[in-house]
Amino acid sequence: MTRVLLTGGCGFIGANLAPMLRKLGHEVTIFDNLSRGRPEHLDDAGAYRLVEADIRDEEAVVRASEGQDAVIHLAAFGSVVESVASPVENFQINVEGTFKVLNGARRAGVRRVVFASTGGALIGNAPPPVNEQAVPRPISPYGASKLAGEGYCSAFANAYDMSVTALRFANVVGPISWHKKGAVTAFFKAIMEGRPLMIFGDGSATRDFLYVEDLCRGIVAGFEAALPRFNVFHLASGRETSVRELAEIARRVSGKPDHPIVHELKRAGEVERNFATYDLARRELGFEPAVSIESAMERTWHWMLAHNARAGQ
């Protein structure tokens, strides 16, 4: 049994990851300020120790890290669009917060950290498919903040002989995402509420979409590998999907193939094309996504239907 501190554990990815870790025999302590995550997102809130605190409070991080074997750091200001509107808050949470998680872990004697990074926003507008050798040139404060986080991860791994693994996530799709603000949630909510699907730009922008269960298996693999010093991996599907194609899949799986679509101006900070290869993660971690975007969208739609029904009771 490994004792794991999971920051942001009540959020979308954390609430999917926590039960997977628990079923593998790990003891999970969740560290979350509950600004967006909720204990009710968890499969069984009573199965976890919950520390309600903010990652910007380093002393709270130190206290929560004491006696832990590893930290998986998911807590973040996770929106490109919101980072453009609120760059200071984005910096405070993603850069200062990540520094305090790393330093808090170091002070508590924890030598293993997994950091949730990002692919597209960090790399910026580079010709896809990108990989771990692609030169990062972020075009949003969110992307810049994750690049800074990776910089501190590398520095702590080498300066303090820690095992720190940064995992660059694709766009994640799946259950427990009702509160998220990405395209998938926006499309499905619009369909449920009878509003047109809104696409920013002409719909040709592309992304890499990964089912949350596949992502969590990749996080577990990176965590259990405990590779020395600093390592970075893309966790991706390797498939380029346009926003227009995503909207078409949303209409199809919801049974509304003719649901209206409207276009608005492209938003600042968003990359034009992005998808990544996961060859390195496959080779070093045994990572292999199993769920297609079509199946991921269908599963998410059915979860959202059930969630919406419960919310209306």
Question: Distance between CA 3 and CA 173 in Å, rounded?
Answer: 27
The Cα–Cα gap between 260 and 107 comes to 54
Q: Where are the domains of the chain?
A: 3-172+209-235, 175-206+239-272+292-311
Phi-psi region of 8 (alpha: psi -120 to 50; beta: other; left: phi over 0): left
Listed residue (150, 312, 118, 147) closest to 230, CA to CA: 150
Q: Tokens 């991080």 map to which residue?
A: 61
Indicate the burial class of 246 (C-beta count within 10 angstroms; 0-12, 13-18, 19 or more).
buried
Per-residue pLDDT tens listing for the chain (313 residues): 899 999 999 999 999 999 999 999 999 999 999 999 999 999 999 999 999 999 999 999 999 999 999 999 999 998 999 999 999 999 999 999 999 999 999 999 999 999 999 999 999 999 999 999 999 999 999 999 999 999 999 999 999 999 999 999 999 999 999 989 889 999 999 999 999 999 999 999 999 999 999 999 999 999 999 999 999 999 999 999 999 999 999 999 999 999 999 999 999 999 999 999 999 999 999 999 999 999 999 999 999 999 875 543 3
Round to the nearest angstrom and report the end-to-end CA distance of the chain: 40
pTM of this structure: 0.95
Active-site residue list: 142
- Mention the CATH class of domain 175-206+239-272+292-311: alpha beta
- Class of CATH domain 3-172+209-235: alpha beta
